[in-house]
Amino acid sequence: MSRVSDRKSTWFLAGIFITLAVVVGVALWLWIIFLPPSEVLLDSSDHAPQSIAVPAPALTGSQTQHRSDKAAVSESDAFAPLQQEPPAQTPKLESALNNMRQSLSEGDARTPELAPDLEREKPSAAALEDPAAYADYEATQAHTTASAWMQAFQKIPELRARIDAAKAAGDKSDEEIAEAEDALVELEKMRDELKRENPELFVPSGNSLPEATQAIGKP
């Protein structure tokens, strides 16, 4: 009977973690898109205007005659540096999506507080031999993971503020704003659904994390 209970508990937690994984993915997408442009795009030095020297073109006979009526062009003017147009930047949305894909597959040092990269501790040999010890190991890992992932929901107000700030500043396209707002609405729906189905995960406590999240893995 105890094993059946432990199995149900494991599947319950697995369902929560899958939902939270989707939540973190959506939140990370929003987070990257609404980082300041200097953090989203490539290093500014890659896009800095460059100066190149362009020699004066050779003059034809008629041009030479016409030139005599004007002041001679100095050598320094002939080789005056011209501002090269900066290379076209990748559209911000495409850049953000590329960054998101890379971040989800390789991690991103810019977003540790949103989706911490937790190293799963391997079970000891004793835990592998003892079902009760292994259940404790799984519960401890579940508590650690849930504690980190539940913080994603706490970023919703900040993400909303970033979107509102971007709308006011006008530095994002209407399409980007609309997509970000839709994604944030979906994120809020996920949070509300999880809260409706598992309200114990959202019980406030004296600490920053929900009480039920802190209690996961404790006897």
Here the tokens at position 36 are: 């300041």
3-class SS of residue 88: coil
* Helix (H), strand (E) at residue 82: strand 81-83
| Cα distances (Å, whole numbers) of residue 219 to 28, 50, 90, 127 | 33, 65, 52, 17
pLDDT of residue 39: 42
The yes-or-no verdict on residue 219 having pLDDT over 80 is no
pTM over 0.75: no
Sorted by where each begins, the domain ranges of the chain are 2-42+89-113+126-215
Q: Which residue has better confidence, 193 or 131?
A: 131
Assign 3-state DSSP to the chain and report helix, strand, coil percentages, each to 5.
Answer: 65, 5, 35
**Closest CA relative to residue 192, chosen from 23, 11, 17:** 23
pLDDT of 192 > 80? The answer is yes
pLDDT reading at 127 higher than 80? yes
How would you class 115 by CB atoms within 10 Å of its CB: exposed for 0-12, middle for 13-18, buried for 19 or more?
buried
CA pair distance 184, 146, nearest whole angstrom = 21
Identify the CA nearest to 20 among candidates 161, 160, 154, 137: 154
* Lowest mean pLDDT across 76-90, 110-124, 155-169: 76-90
Burial 9-23 (b: 16+ CB within 10 A, else e): eeeebeebeebbeeb
pLDDT band at 203 (very low <50, low <70, confident <90, very high): confident
At residue 155, what are phi and psi to the nearest 5 degrees? -85, -10
Q: Name the region of 43 (left: φ>0; alpha: ψ -120 to 50; beta: rest).
A: beta
DSSP string, 1-27: -HHHHHHHHHHHHHHHHHHHHHHHHHH
Could you tell me the pLDDT band of residue 146, with boundaries at 50, 70 and 90? low
pLDDT at 21 over 80: no
Tens of pLDDT, residues 23-60: 556 555 555 555 544 443 333 344 444 433 444 445 55
Give the pLDDT confidence score for residue 124 in this predicted structure.
86
In this prediction, residue 194 carries a pLDDT of 73
Q: Is 194 in contact with 16 (CB distance < 8 Å)?
A: yes
